[in-house]
Amino acid sequence: MCSRGCLAVAWACFLAFTLCQLRDVVAGESIWSGTSVAINETRVLDGSETLTFQNCTVLLQEHKIILKDRAELRMSDCQVKGKGGIYAYNDSKIDLIGVVWGKEMYTPVNLEAYGASSLGIQNCGLYATGMYLCPALIQTSGNVSIVSSNLSGARQITGGSVLVMRSRVVGCYYPGLAIGGRRTTILDSVFYGVGEISSQVGFEGDEIYLGSTTIESDHVGIKSSGVLTICSGSRIEARSGGSLGCSDIRLSASSMNISKSSISSWCWGDWWGHLTLTGGSILIVDSDLWSRGLFGEPLGTSLRLTGTVVSVRNSNISAQGYVWPGFDTVSDLSLIAEIIRIKSSFLKCTANRPSIRIEGNANIVDTEIRVIPPEDTARNRWIIISYPVTVLNSSIGPGPEFEAFPSVGVVLSLQPPGPCDEVFIDLWPMGDPKFTMYDDGTHGDLEPNDGKYSHFLYVSLDARKAVWTLPAWSISGGRYGLQTITLTIPVPETWVLIVSVGLSFTLGSCIQP
């Protein structure tokens, strides 16, 4: 006779043998638990049908599970093996919790959703282990939720609303990864583009929120028809290397808010990096934006902010081109908008030919703006600020590595309201004595006896204001009259300030003439 212990062991062996048997999923059975099951043919669920797998190993065996017309599939704590797929159509629902799929080499994760189907992925690992296996395609108007999961080889994740939280998503080798929907919320997640030449990650939707999120790819595009928010330590980085191509980031939205984040486009090969922000309004606070290229001949690197209103506060913005003898590298840093507000920030541009342009009704306060090029080719380096502009407590000019303080010839002109015995101007704001002004066709006066008094002089630009407003005195019959005069600089009419690299000065205030 067998003892009680022998009976227990025999019963346990019997249960283990029974549970480990491969069972076929057939029509009419809706709940599977604690076993290995095989999809022996394409299984179609429709209407209100529900199929549930709990703690199972599901062998697809090159067959499909198809859901349509509000059918549901639920998997929890399961492992999916074999080629095949899960497809949802027309208001169907897929819920995956604790599912591992695609760990086998060259086994695709064929997961697709269409129509108004909804998809929930939580604590899952969905892997594509081959270079061109990119079958994860979610293209639905329903809701998509991906939480605490790992996805690779994803081509598209779009829905009515998309939530990705505490997850890692790797795009397809080709054609890249596309994400978005009417409302897209990304929290504490990482997205990677894959590819040797042109890896791509793109977001598009009506409203996009990125918080504590990292995006890395050669090309990154984010387009929102409404509000785009990038905040809470988010990092967007486009990078390429060698001679494999350029890096490019393009962000556009009707309203763009960037705070406490970093956005950079850079390369270390023979190409270039570009960073472009376009919007109705662009607000950048406590953030770093920069583009960097090495040779990039002849294009170099560019960083451009274009919108209706552009505001920059407590931020660093720079376009960094490599300075290399014999190469015509170019860097372009541009802010172009109807209204521009820059406060407590640092703008920098470096290259063999760097330029900074600020075009719009600009207000620049407590800000440092630098071009840092080779000193021996200074004539090709520019900072250009269009008027009207107000500049307060700011420093604009070349970087501290280059010290050059040349003078510029200027003509001061004044037309008193009537005949005068003497006209002079007090240049004490620029540290110079008073100068007599002339209406005799000399000392810079163009036309004698026309009632306009002028004086030509050289002004050092190491402490020049963009537009000086100075007191000018006229004496007639022993009586003094006070007027104001503006400093006239021989530059194109549309610019109030053009500075070559060799110039260095500090702006205290700028008053529109």
pLDDT (tens digit per residue) in 303-347: 999 999 999 999 999 998 776 666 667 788 999 999 999 999 999
Q: What is the CA radius of gyration of the chain?
A: 34
Q: Coil, strand, or helix at residue 375?
A: helix
Contact 363, 341 (CB under 8 A): yes
Mean of all residue pLDDT scores within the chain = 77
Longest dimension (CA), the chain: 141
Structural domains of the chain, with CATH: 20-194 (no CATH), 407-506 (2.60.40)
Please state whether beta strands 434-436 and 422-426 pair in parallel, antiparallel, or not at all (unpaired).
antiparallel
The answer to whether residues 42 and 20 touch, using CB atoms and an 8 Å cutoff, is no
- pTM for the model stands at 0.74
What mean pLDDT is predicted for residues 16-25?
Answer: 50
* pLDDT: which is higher, 162 or 301: 162
Rounded to an integer, the average pLDDT of 384-411 is 60
Mean pLDDT of 451-475: 59
- If you ran DSSP here, which 8-state letter would residue 246 be given? -
Between 513 and 224, the more confident residue is: 224
CA distance 267 to 254: 29
Residue 78 vs residue 14, higher pLDDT = 78
pLDDT at 452: 82
Q: In whole angstroms, what is the distance from residue 106 CA to residue 201 CA?
A: 23
SS3 (DSSP) at 315: coil
Of 257-261, 274-278, 322-326, 374-378, minimum mean pLDDT range = 374-378
Q: How far is it, in rounded angstroms, from Cα 316 to Cα 313?
A: 9
In a 10 Å sphere around its CB, with 0-12 CB exposed, 13-18 middle and 19+ buried, how is residue 12 labelled?
exposed
CB 261 within 8 A of CB 234: yes
Average pLDDT rounded to a whole number, residues 406-411? 53
According to the model, what pLDDT value does residue 3 have?
A: 53
